[in-house]
């Protein structure tokens, strides 16, 4: 039997027995076969000695059982790694951040405590997936939308705690920001409720985020300070209608006008739907167009068009631009989603058009149909609008890695490199210049494919006010290639940080490095985080090393 690092087999056996007395023997897993499901299916270290694997897993069914398990873990010094549904593929999956730690699997805690479609919020347990909540809302005919990530199989809580993101209105897309109230079990087994949940008779746990006194909720996201057993989320009231509109800009330099339009529209609240940028001229698409490409293959460009794209540098050549102008193929396209009563949508679209007309020379527009009422879902089913834009969960995005019509060479997984960059066109051009040079000149990067960089990387706009320049690293079954990927990823973190671009989230194997570049004033932020760690979890039993935060006794072992 594998044991957690520094724990003797006898102590471990005693702890597992005690866990079983709390959760039942069926819910303590230690056989190699059972633990296989807690391996990170996308790990580039899969099968290698450094792969992060669990020594056991325990699956409690209630917050009280979580408390009892934590008290036992504390008594015996057993490190626990809580997961909600454990679907964090691309960022570590369900494997612990440190090998040997015991996965605390919260999937069985799958109660939807409340969905309020008058005040528009829900309170759920960690095992509730986006599919579960969506099905519940549909079954009861409630008039609220969820906001889900591309794949809908994960949990609201796990996704939000890892700072996950979705696709509806800006207020809901940033999942941690959209939360309201938490229940957290601390390392000593005590349960704490944040916000109005701390006031026993309050009816406002899902309504008023701040409660009274310092807001501590952020301490429990991307950290290892507690185990979240309930969480509230604000939900979007179902709008009357939805419409997509495209702003089409003809020239390379027009990216400035596109970004200025996007910022003003979003930051002023003129339209709240997820904006996306694409380049029809360079053959890159929005999320919906990407899903179509996974299944149907990339757009078939005319031979001359394809040659010009291949010959462009940083996505540009005068000939390519000329070709686009002659053929009326936009260089850039801003895809916007509008919600509300049809008259409001029409007014929003008018306002966007007049703003873009001032910002972009020779701009053109195209509006989709206004889909109202049940027609919204039908349009999403027909894939005329992106289902996630109206909170309909699905798994189509997995087409990016699996064998699909347009994707004959499946990957074994992928990792996202996800730096935050300024929300300006200058930054987009700079990111392309810097990363293009990096992949041409840095040996570790020359050896591996980096997805999304060529012919030109357009960032995503999941979270308001900044961009994320997300690039993909395809994991394969070749250990040598995977090791090269890890090295290359590390190089990109380093290069990004040199330019002030840091990860918003990263696979567990890179968390030490990604945290280390947030180094202002001799790493004062990390030192504060670790002071908190020492205070709330002195034995270091919760997710040691997650997001680069190590308990005192393990700090010397921090990876480079
Ligand atoms: C093709 C593809 C597309 C994707 N697109 C998106 C996307 O659009 N948006 C997006 O956000 N992600 C995306 N992802 C990443 C991932 O699939 C989702 O974020 C997924 O929702 C996370 O899984 P989960 O909800 O099961 O979280 P979990 O795996 O349960 O949790 C994530 C981490 O949070 C911590 N944690 C979880 N629960 C608790 C708890 N109760 N208490 C304390 N700590 C806890 C743990 O450290 C855990 O490892 C994508 C992945 C793939 C493969």
Give the phi and the psi of residue 226 in degrees, each rounded to 5: -175, 170
Give the phi and the psi of residue 349 in degrees, each rounded to 5: -65, -40
Measured CA distances, 249 to 254, 337, 468 (Å) = 6, 18, 21
Give 299 Cα–ligand 1 centroid separation in angstroms. Answer: 31
CATH of 411-506, one of 3.30.70.960, 3.50.50.60, 3.60.150.10, 3.40.462.10: 3.40.462.10
- Residue 458 token pair: 């357009």
The CATH number of the structural domain formed by 9-105 is 3.30.43.10
Q: What is the CA radius of gyration of the chain?
A: 24
Q: Return the pLDDT at 410.
A: 85
Q: Whose CA is nearest to atom 53 of ligand 1?
A: 89
Measured CA distances, 16 to 71, 94, 405, 534 (Å) = 13, 20, 47, 25
Q: Return the pLDDT at 408.
A: 77
Instruction: For ligand 1, pick from 40, 83, 110, 287 the residue to mutate: most ligand atoms within 8 Å of CB.
Output: 83
Closest atom of ligand 1 relative to the 161 alpha carbon: 34
Q: Return the pLDDT at 295.
A: 87
Give 86 Cα–ligand 1 centroid separation in angstroms. Answer: 7
Contact between residue 508 and residue 53 where contact means Cβ atoms under 8 Å apart: no
Q: Whose CA is nearest to atom 22 of ligand 1?
A: 88
- The parts of the chain modelled with pLDDT lower than 50 are none
Burial of 418 (0-12, 13-18, 19+ CB in 10 A): buried
The CATH number of the structural domain formed by 241-373 is 3.40.462.10
- CATH 3.40.462.10 region(s) of the chain? 241-373, 411-506
Secondary structure (3-state) at 397:
helix
Instruction: For ligand 1, pick from 124, 159, 542, 543 the residue to mutate: most ligand atoms within 8 Å of CB.
Output: 159
Eight-class DSSP state of 213 = S
Secondary structure (3-state) at 509:
helix
Give 154 Cα–ligand 1 centroid separation in angstroms. Answer: 6
Q: Return the pLDDT at 557.
A: 61
- The residue to which tokens 């069926």 are assigned: 26
CA angle 173–498–445, rounded 5-degree value = 85
Measured CA distances, 375 to 117, 137, 291, 378 (Å) = 21, 17, 21, 5
Q: What is the dihedral of CA 110, 114, 115, 119, to 10 degrees?
A: -150
Distance from C-alpha of 283 to C-alpha of 424, rounded to nearest angstrom: 22
Q: Return the pLDDT at 282.
A: 97
Give 90 Cα–ligand 1 centroid separation in angstroms. Answer: 9
Give 300 Cα–ligand 1 centroid separation in angstroms. Answer: 34
Cα 151 off chain centre by:
10
Q: What proportions of the chain, in percent to the nearest 5, are helix, strand and coil?
A: 40, 20, 40
Q: Return the pLDDT at 498.
A: 98
Give 547 Cα–ligand 1 centroid separation in angstroms. Answer: 14
Nearest to 236, CA basis, from 144, 166, 150: 144
- Residue 85 token pair: 């549904």
> Which CATH architecture group holds 112-237?
2-Layer Sandwich (3.30)
Beta-carbon count within 10 A of 322 CB = 11
Measured CA distances, 110 to 20, 84, 85, 219, 436 (Å) = 20, 9, 10, 23, 45
Nearest to 222, CA basis, from 560, 517, 507, 531: 507
Give 160 Cα–ligand 1 centroid separation in angstroms. Answer: 8
Lining residues, ligand 1, CB within 6 Å: 82-92, 94, 106, 126, 149-151, 154-155, 157-159, 161-162, 164-165, 227-228, 397-398, 400, 543, 546
Distance from C-alpha of 428 to C-alpha of 422, rounded to nearest angstrom: 8
Give 84 Cα–ligand 1 centroid separation in angstroms. Answer: 8
Eight-class DSSP state of 432 = H
Looking only at the bridges linking them, the beta strands covering 102-105 and 80-83 are: parallel
List all residues 6 or more positions away from 438 whose beta carbon is below 8 Å from its beta carbon: 445, 491, 492, 495
Q: Whose CA is nearest to atom 52 of ligand 1?
A: 89
What DSSP string describes 32-68? Answer: HHHHGGGS-TT-TTTTSTT----S-EE--SSHHHHHH
> Tens digit of pLDDT for each residue in 45-58?
999 999 999 999 99
Distance from C-alpha of 447 to C-alpha of 213, rounded to nearest angstrom: 52
Burial of 326 (0-12, 13-18, 19+ CB in 10 A): exposed
Distance from C-alpha of 97 to C-alpha of 545, rounded to nearest angstrom: 6
- The residue to which tokens 């109230």 are assigned: 181
Q: What is the mean pLDDT of the chain?
A: 96
- The residue to which tokens 């760690």 are assigned: 533
Distance from C-alpha of 272 to C-alpha of 167, rounded to nearest angstrom: 10
Distance from C-alpha of 487 to C-alpha of 505, rounded to nearest angstrom: 18
- CATH 3.30.465.10 region(s) of the chain? 112-237
Q: Return the pLDDT at 262.
A: 97
pTM of the prediction?
0.97
- Residue 63 token pair: 């917050």
- CATH 3.30.43.10 region(s) of the chain? 9-105
């Amino acid at each position: 039997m594998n044991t957690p690092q520094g724990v003797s087999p006898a102590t471990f056996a005693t702890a597992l027995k005690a866990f079983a007395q709390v959760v039942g023997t069926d819910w303590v897993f230690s056989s190699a076969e059972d633990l296989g499901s807690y391996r990170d299916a996308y790990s580039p270290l899969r099968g290698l000695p450094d792969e992060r694997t669990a020594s056991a897993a325990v699956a409690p069914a209630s917050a009280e059982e979580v408390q009892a398990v934590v008290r036992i873990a504390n008594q015996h010094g057993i490190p626990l790694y809580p997961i909600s549904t454990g679907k964090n593929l691309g960022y570590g999956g369900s494997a612990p951040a440190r090998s040997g730690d015991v996965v605390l699997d919260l999937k069985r805690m799958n109660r939807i405590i409340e969905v309020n479609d008058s005040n528009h919020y829900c309170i759920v347990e960690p095992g509730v997936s986006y599919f579960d909540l969506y099905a519940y809302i549909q079954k009861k005919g409630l008039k609220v939308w969820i906001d889900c990530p591309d794949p809908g199989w994960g949990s609201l809580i796990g996704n939000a705690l890892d700072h996950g993101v979705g696709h509806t209105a800006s207020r809901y897309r940033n999942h941690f920001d959209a939360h309201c109230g938490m229940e957290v079990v601390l390392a000593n087994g005590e349960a704490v409720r944040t916000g109005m949940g701390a006031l026993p008779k309050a009816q406002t746990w899902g309504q008023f985020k701040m409660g009274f006194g310092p807001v501590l909720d952020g301490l429990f996201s991307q950290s290892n300070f507690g185990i979240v057993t309930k969480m509230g989320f604000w939900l979007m009231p179902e709008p009357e209608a939805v419409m997509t509109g495209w702003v089409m800009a003809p020239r390379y330099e027009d990216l400035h006008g596109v970004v200025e339009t996007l910022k003003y529209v979003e930051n002023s609240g003129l339209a709240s739907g997820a904006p996306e940028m694409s380049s029809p001229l360079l053959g890159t698409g929005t999320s919906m167009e990407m899903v179509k490409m996974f299944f149907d293959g990339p757009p078939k460009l005319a031979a001359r068009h394809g040659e010009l794209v291949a010959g462009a540098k940083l996505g540009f050549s005068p000939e390519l631009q000329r070709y686009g102008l002659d053929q009326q193929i936009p260089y850039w396209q801003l895809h916007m989603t509008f919600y509300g009563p049809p008259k409001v949508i029409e007014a929003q679209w008018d306002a966007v058009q007049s703003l873009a007309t001032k910002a972009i020379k020779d701009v053109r527009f195209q509006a989709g149909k206004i889909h109202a009422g049940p027609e919204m879902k039908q349009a999403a089913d027909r894939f005329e609008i992106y289902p996630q834009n109206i909170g309909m969960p699905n798994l189509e995005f997995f087409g990016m890695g699996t064998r699909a019509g347009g994707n004959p060479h499946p990957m074994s997984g992928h990792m996202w490199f996800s730096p935050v960059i300024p929300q300006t066109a200058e930054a987009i051009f700079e990111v392309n210049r810097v990363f293009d040079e990096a992949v041409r000149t840095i040996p570790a990067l020359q050896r591996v494919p980096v997805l999304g960089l060529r012919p030109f990387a357009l960032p995503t706009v999941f979270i308001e006010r900044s961009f994320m320049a997300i690039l993909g690293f395809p994991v394969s079954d070749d250990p040598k290639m995977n090791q090269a990927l890890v090295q290359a990823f590390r190089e990109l973190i380093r290069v990004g940080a040199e330019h002030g671009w840091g990860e918003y989230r990263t696979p567990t194997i890179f968390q030490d490095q990604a945290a280390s570049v947030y180094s202002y004033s001799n790493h004062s932020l990390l030192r504060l985080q670790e002071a908190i760690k020492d205070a709330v979890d002195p034995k270091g039993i919760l997710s040691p090393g997650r997001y680069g935060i190590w308990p005192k006794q393990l700090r010397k072992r921090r990876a480079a």
